[in-house]
Amino acid sequence: MKRICFLSCQDLDGHIVDDHLAQKELEKHGEYQVDWINWDEETDWKRFDLAIIRTTWDYHKRSAEFLSKLNVIASQTTLMNPASIVEWNFHKGYLKDLANKGVAIVPTVFFKDTESILLPASWNYQRFIIKPAISANAYKTVIIAKEDLLSGKYKTHLAAGDWLLQPFMEEIKQGEVSLHFFNKTFSHGITKTPKVGDFRVQEEHGGLIQNYTPSPELLSIAHNILTQIPSQLLYARVDLVFWQGQWVLMEVELIEPSLYFRMDPQSVVNYKRAIDQHFQSTLA
Ligand SMILES: Nc1ncnc2c1ncn2[C@@H]1O[C@H](COP(=O)(O)OP(=O)(O)O)[C@@H](O)[C@H]1O
Ligand SMILES: [Mg+2]
């Protein structure tokens, strides 16, 4: 029997967790035992054969501490996803790397709170989004009108650090697609649609979650994004929006995405298969 640790956090109030469905599938035939441990606890990580980052949903407020703890865990057991890829995925600057490799991302200007924003001449948008480069769950993500951008009024919203400016995509009202991959193999898809009057798609903000079957074209776009990432990925969630006639990448979630197991009974089977493959490959 292999021992697996699901990394979590102390306060999950207000969050919807469905990883117990994955736990149930993993433990069904006695092949695995799953323990939930808060990432900031002190424990002997060596007793686990694998630690999987799951519901660590307070990390963006304690990012340096979280990253250093992941390195401690990774020095004692196998961590998934690997700490190096988590570090890369931590800061939304990774979108720039993917854009440089030809991935269509949401057009983005990266800026620091201490800098003025340089608007590209070709940007004829009236509304914008600003969001922190280190974020989750739409934390500090707001719409800014053009006049507030030009007058500098947006600065009152900023906290110290790196930020992203993007055109506000009205199409978000039709939803954001999330495609889940285990070991880079497609498992299941959903859409997240904001509640009326909101633009944030997360269910914590009232968003509606529905099953979604991607077209072969969209699947190949998402798969191609993952092939640009040179790392083993036990899990990955690719979030895209259909905007101005094409699919653009909102995020690749490689740290602690909700995996929406409750939406598709096959998803936990796919997840377990990926974990089986991980252990088979370490034996080989
Ligand atoms: N450019 C944008 N246009 C419209 N909505 C956006 C835009 N950027 C972010 N959002 C909304 O804010 C949410 C959070 O942004 P996202 O980039 O996914 O960061 P995170 O999930 O890490 O907080 C998105 O799921 C979407 O609902
Ligand atoms: Mg997101």
In terms of domains, do 204 and 160 share one?
Answer: no
**Number of structural domains, the chain?**
3
232 and 154 co-located in one domain:
no
Q: Which residue ranges in the chain fall short of pLDDT 70?
A: 284
Asked if residue 158 and residue 46 are part of one domain, the reply reads no
Select from 168, 197, 215 the last residue of a domain. Answer: 168
**φ, ψ dihedrals at 3, nearest 5°:** -105, 130
Atom of ligand 1 nearest to the CA of 171: 4
Q: Which domain holds residue 224?
A: 94-104+171-261
The CATH number of whichever domain residue 121 belongs to comes to 3.30.1490
Pocket of ligand 1 (CB under 6 A): 106, 129, 131, 135-139, 141, 166, 168-169, 172, 176, 194, 199-201, 239, 250-251
Task: Provide the 8-state DSSP code for 105.
Answer: B
* Nearest ligand (C-alpha, residue 130): 1
Q: DSSP assignment, residue 263?
A: G
What is the predicted pLDDT for the residue at 7?
A: 98
**Of the residues 123, 147, 168, the one at which a domain ends:** 168
Ligand nearest to the CA of 170: 1
**223 alpha carbon, distance to own chain's centre:** 16
Q: Give the CB-side neighbour count of residue 29, counting CA atoms within 13 A.
A: 4
**Of 58, 109, 129, best ligand 1 pocket probe by most atoms within 8 Å of the beta carbon:** 129
The CATH number assigned to the domain holding 223 equals 3.30.470.20
Q: Distance of alpha carbon 117 from its chain centroid, rounded? A: 26
Predicted local confidence at residue 138, as pLDDT:
85
Contact 211, 233 (CB under 8 A): no
In terms of domains, do 250 and 220 share one? yes
Query: Could you tell me if 128 and 255 lie in one domain?
Result: no
Same domain, 143 and 198: no
Check residue 284 and give its pLDDT. Answer: 64
* DSSP one-letter string for 192-237: EEPPTT-----GGGT-EEEE----HHHHHHHHHHHHTS-S--SEEE
**Whose Cα sits closest to atom 15 in ligand 1?**
138
139 and 268 housed in the same domain: no
The protein residue with its alpha carbon nearest to ligand 1, atom 22, reads 136
What residues have CB less than 8 Å from 91, skipping those under 6 apart?
133, 134, 162
Give, for ligand 1, the residue of 91, 172, 198, 255 to mutate: max count of ligand atoms closer than 8 Å to Cβ.
172
Q: What is the pLDDT of residue 60?
A: 82
Q: Which amino acid is at 39?
A: W
181 lies in the same domain as 75: no
Tokens of 183: 């070991």
- Within a 10 A sphere around the Cβ of 265, how many other Cβ atoms? 11
CA of 156 to the centre of ligand 2 (A): 23
Contact 129, 166 (CB under 8 A): yes
CA 166 – CA 132 distance, rounded (Å): 11
- Are residues 222 and 214 in contact, defined by beta-carbon separation less than 8 angstroms? yes
Residue 209 and residue 99 share a domain: yes
**Which strands make up the sheet holding 50-55, listed edge to edge?**
32-38, 2-8, 50-55, 79-80
Protein residue with its CA nearest to atom 17 in ligand 1 = 250
> Which string of b and e fits 111-140 if b means at least 16 CB within 10 Å?
beeeeebeeeeeeeeeebbbbbbbbbebee
| CATH number of 43's domain | 3.40.50
Ligand nearest to the CA of 141: 1
Residues 125 and 249 in one domain: no
Tell me, yes or no, whether 46 and 72 share the same domain: yes
Question: Which pLDDT does position 104 carry in this prediction?
Answer: 98
**Quick one: 16 and 115 in the same domain?**
no
> Ligand 1, from 86, 105, 131, 135: best to mutate by most atoms within 8 Å of Cβ?
131
